């Protein structure tokens, strides 16, 4: 079990792995913690990963089920917050939330699948992706 003080480093490593995966898949360069103007009046917001041309914008979430297999409810609120910020980007921008693949023996679905099933009505064009750190593979949870 990791201590909470390890969490920022774990999240940053996840973010770098996801950015590298996108670079390999697309051939584009990606930036971490890139600031883009959103809202009105426009205000800068830092997004976890963006392509250099800002046509792909991604927020990363490195969350797991609780030890007992319960939903980490507060953390799901942070995923909704990420979707909210992504929703301010133009519709022609590929807007993504990438969640780490998280399974639990008491659950028949991953945490990303659970999130999509219970919150797909809030997504408004934002895709939910799931990155498996063990196999370095990405799955589109939306199915489109």
Structural domains of the chain, ranges and CATH numbers in brackets: 4-140 (3.40.1350)
Sheet containing strand 43-51, strands side by side? 30-38, 43-51, 56-61, 94-100, 127-132, 137-140
pLDDT digits (tens, 9 = 90+) for 48-102: 999 999 999 999 999 999 999 999 999 999 999 999 999 999 989 999 999 999 9
Query: What integer best gives the mean pLDDT of the chain?
Result: 92
Burial of 76 (0-12, 13-18, 19+ CB in 10 A): middle
pLDDT at residue 7 in the model? 64
CB 56 within 8 A of CB 26: yes
The C-alpha angle with vertex 60 and arms to 56 and 61, in degrees rounded to 5, equals 155
pLDDT (tens digit per residue) in 77-89: 999 999 999 999 9
Residue in 105, 112, 108 with CA at minimum distance from that of residue 131: 112
Q: Is the pLDDT of residue 23 over 70?
A: yes
CA dihedral 49, 50, 55, 61 (to 10 degrees): 10
The fraction of the chain above a pLDDT of 90, given in percent, is 89
Give mean pLDDT, residues 101-119: 95
pLDDT for position 19:
96
């Amino acid at each position: 079990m990791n201590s909470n003080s390890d969490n920022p480093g774990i999240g940053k490593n996840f973010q770098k792995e996801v950015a590298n995966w996108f670079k390999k898949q697309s051939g584009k360069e990606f930036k971490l913690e890139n600031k883009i103007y959103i809202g009105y009046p426009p205000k800068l917001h830092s997004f976890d990963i963006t392509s250099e041309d800002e046509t792909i914008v991604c927020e990363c979430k490195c969350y797991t089920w609780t030890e007992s297999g319960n939903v980490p409810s507060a953390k799901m609120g942070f995923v909704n917050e990420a979707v909210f910020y992504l929703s301010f980007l133009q519709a022609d921008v590929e807007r993504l939330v990438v969640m780490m693949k998280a399974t639990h023996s008491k659950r028949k679905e991953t945490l990303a699948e659970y999130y999509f099933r219970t919150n797909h009505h809030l997504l408004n064009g934002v895709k939910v992706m799931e990155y498996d750190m063990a196999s370095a593979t990405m799955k589109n949870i939306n199915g489109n």
